Amino acid sequence: MIQNLHVRKKEENRFSLNRRQRKLVTSIVAAIVLLGVVVVGALLDEERIATNLIARNLAPSFDHLFGTDWLGRDMFARTIMGLSLSVKVGLIGAIGSTSIALILGMAAATMGRVADRLISWLIDLFLSVPHLVTLILIAFTLGGGFKGIVIGLVLTHWPSLARVIRAEVMQIRSAEYVQISKQLGKSKGWIAVHHILPHLTPQILIGFMLMFPHVILHESAVTFIGLGLSPHEPAIGIILSESMKYLSAGMWWLAFYPGLCLLMIVQTFDRIGENLRLLLDPSKSND
């Protein structure tokens, strides 16, 4: 009997997943869902959001899952296309900000005291003002639109990651193997490529994934107040902004479903970033 219990426990342990494996599976599923949203949004035909006055102001149903708006446009199609557009803009903004953070963080830690003081002052300057305020100022100065919002996102979300990268590089450059490479005559470029960048990869990847949801939310917020993407684009911020006029008429679905989907996308990206941080943490490899 006891032997059978031991055998059963071994079989259960064989098929059960530890914490890291569960996090990995969850992250893969979430990434597939996000990729599916982007692909479906890109493949949807523009006719799905064409004006149809016969079907306007319809509540959610099997024919129109998220209902229709005051012009008869299918809100499910508009929401998916808006999420796809937000993810694309967020991807460009996060990649640009991560690149700036990497360049400035490494420059501050490797190019001497003057460069370090200048870049540290620049980081403190950007961190002293909320991202959203700086983003609005830049987007307004550039006239809004796709170019204005993307440039604003790229220029406002790098400081926190740059500070992390600077601290990591300063720690790595004092390591013994780096000092040995210097004594062997290796150049700064060779050391940066072979010693520093490999150690920065986890921080860059995690910082990028955690930056992504903030970029998407800020893009939607600036678009909501009319300084972001063009009103002709099916962006979530535009959908939410337009729906405000019709909430008092009882058309709650115009804001509820797009807002809920945006929240789910942001939370999914945030969860992937947190799971990635756990998976890349050596101290938790046995959990």
Predicted model pTM = 0.80
* Residue 97 pLDDT class (50, 70, 90 cuts): very high
7 pLDDT above the threshold of 70 = no
pLDDT tier, 28 (very low <50, low <70, confident <90, very high otherwise)? confident
The alpha-helical segments, DSSP class H, found in the chain are 2-15, 19-43, 75-110, 112-127, 131-141, 145-156, 159-173, 176-183, 188-191, 197-224, 236-243, 253-279
CATH number corresponding to 26-46+68-280? 1.10.3720.10
CB-based contact 239:260 (threshold 8 Å) = no
Residue 44 has pLDDT above 70, yes or no: yes
Rounded to 5°, angle at Cα 273 from 268 and 276: 125
d(CA 263, CA 148): 24
pLDDT band for position 284 (50/70/90)? low
Predicted confidence band of residue 281 (pLDDT cuts 50, 70, 90): low
Cα separation, 102 vs 116, whole angstroms: 14
Could you give the CA distance from residue 92 to residue 81 in angstroms, rounded to a whole number?
17
| Higher-confidence position of 83 and 278 | 83
The gap from C-alpha 106 to its chain's centroid, in whole angstroms, comes to 22
* DSSP three-state, residue 74: strand
Output the pLDDT for position 11.
47
Structure tokens at 125: 């300057």
Whole-angstrom distance, CA of residue 117 vs CA of residue 104? 12
Residue-range domain boundaries for the chain: 26-46+68-280
- Quote the CA–CA distance of 75 and 56 in Å, as a whole number: 11
The answer to whether the beta carbons of residues 280 and 205 sit under 8 Å apart is yes
Q: Return the pLDDT at 96.
A: 92
Q: Which of 64, 92, 91 is nearest to 80 (CA)?
A: 64
Cα Rg for the chain, rounded, in angstroms? 24
